[in-house]
């Protein structure tokens, strides 16, 4: 009988007492809690992994290699390649801040590499931002050019070190171009994407730009041949040319948004590409007696964001780089990069 009670006590300890102790002493975690903890840990690991170390990855289109460059050195090479070094220092500063912002925007957006160059988020070509090393600048220009202008470029970049452009707390994509022709373009009229900080603004004082005005001249035969290379069914001849090409719509800045070719509406940028024009702000003139077609363009580039020649014009009139940036990018703030 005594053995029976010992056995019963042993069973009670195993089935009741021991589980109670375990429940009180062990912190039970559900499957959902486990998933949440793992998720938070992963986020923390990613934050550590993605912490900016001051370097950016760039795909060199000339050597087809990926290089890591200190951000500020990269910005110096971009400013030297993208903007005339003769420009006012405040314009160079504005370019430095825009170029730095662009580099960080692309780096953050394409962490695994850009679709057009998967090896890195940025490249050294005009597809992203043109970049030239000090050695390449000396080779392209001369040592005399480097001696004269490099310190000026360094000063413009160093004096804005770490500064980037934000809109509503987010780093922006600061598009820029050479010459607006008097007014920049609204992003929705070029890229069909309505970006709040890329609105059209007046851009005076650009008349000194070498491509403020330009004319492309074609024989009427050359002109029609180019049209038919893209639109083979277009019924266009030398005799009916004025009737077959009609303006449909211009943007607020004066650029051609849509044009009609023999009843078919096409985008202005399509004709820009077809005839290799400087901008979509163009006018077609046909002289039937001379059998010549002239296409006169105003401005150079897509026209969205900061006009470089406009920035220089503002600087020469006394504006500093902050005023220039806030003029061309609507509603933005300039702050140190939030790493």
* Residue given tokens 């897509």 in the structure block: 302
Please write the tens of the pLDDT for every residue from 110-148: 998 899 889 999 999 988 999 999 999 999 999 999 999
CA angle 72, 162, 324 (to 5 degrees): 100
Look at residue 223 in the predicted model and tell me its pLDDT: 96
pLDDT: which is higher, 45 or 271 = 271
Give the Å distances, CA to CA, from 53 to 8, 33, 110, 161.
67, 33, 17, 15
**Average pLDDT for the chain:** 88
Q: What is the pLDDT of residue 84?
A: 97
pTM given for the model: 0.82
- Is pLDDT of 327 > 80? yes
Residue 13 has pLDDT above 60, yes or no: no
**Res 42 pLDDT > 50:** no
How far is residue 63 from each of residues 4, 59, 77, 121, 136, measured CA to CA in Å? 88, 9, 16, 16, 13
Q: Please count the other Cβ atoms lying within 10 Å of the Cβ belonging to residue 75.
A: 29
Is 70 exceeded by the pLDDT of residue 176?
Answer: yes
pLDDT of residue 248: 96
pLDDT band of residue 4 (cuts 50, 70, 90) is: very low
Strands 55-60 and 122-123: parallel
Q: How confident is the model over 179-195, as pLDDT tens digits?
A: 999 999 999 999 889 99
- The dihedral through the CA atoms of 72, 74, 80, 82 has a sign that is negative
The domains of the chain are located at: 55-177+306-336, 213-298
Sorting pLDDT into bands at 50, 70 and 90, what band is 277? Answer: very high
Q: Would you say residue 2 has pLDDT above 50?
A: no
Environment class of 198 (CB within 10 Å of its CB; exposed 0-12, middle 13-18, buried 19+) = buried
| First vs last C-alpha separation in the chain | 76
| 110 vs 105: CA distance, rounded Å | 9
- Across the range 145-163, mean pLDDT stands at 97
């Amino acid at each position: 009988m005594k053995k029976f009670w010992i056995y019963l006590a042993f069973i009670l300890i195993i089935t009741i007492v021991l589980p109670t102790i375990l429940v009180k002493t062990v912190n039970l975690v559900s499957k959902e809690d486990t998933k949440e903890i793992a998720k938070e840990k992963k986020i923390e690991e990613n934050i550590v992994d993605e912490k900016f170390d001051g370097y950016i990855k760039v795909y060199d289109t000339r050597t087809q290699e990926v290089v890591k460059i200190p951000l500020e050195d990269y910005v110096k090479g971009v400013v030297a390649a993208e903007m005339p070094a003769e420009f006012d220092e405040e314009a160079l500063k504005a370019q430095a801040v825009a170029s730095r912002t662009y580099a960080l925007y692309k780096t953050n957006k394409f962490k695994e590499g850009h679709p057009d160059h998967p090896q890195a988020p940025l490249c050294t070509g005009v597809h992203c931002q043109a970049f030239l090393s000090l050695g390449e600048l000396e080779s392209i220009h001369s040592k005399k050019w480097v001696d004269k202008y490099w310190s000026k470029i360094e000063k413009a970049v160093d004096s804005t070190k770490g500064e980037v452009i934000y809109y509503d707390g987010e780093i922006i994509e600061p598009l820029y171009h050479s010459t607006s022709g008097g007014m920049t373009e609204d992003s929705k009229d070029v890229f069909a994407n309505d970006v709040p900080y890329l609105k059209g603004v007046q851009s005076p004082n650009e008349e000194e730009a070498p491509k403020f005005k330009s004319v492309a001249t074609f024989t009427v035969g050359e002109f029609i041949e180019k049209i038919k290379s893209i639109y083979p069914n277009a019924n266009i001849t030398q005799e009916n040319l004025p009737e077959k090409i009609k303006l449909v719509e211009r943007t607020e800045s004066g650029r051609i948004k849509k044009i009609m070719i023999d009843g078919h509406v096409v985008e202005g940028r399509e004709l820009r590409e077809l005839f290799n024009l400087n901008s979509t702000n163009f006018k077609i003139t046909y002289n039937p007696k001379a059998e010549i077609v002239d296409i006169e363009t105003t401005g150079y580039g897509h026209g969205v964001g900061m006009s470089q020649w406009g920035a220089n014009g503002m600087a020469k009139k006394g504006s500093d780089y902050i005023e220039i940036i806030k003029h061309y990018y609507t509603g933005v703030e300039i702050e140190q990069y939030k790493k």
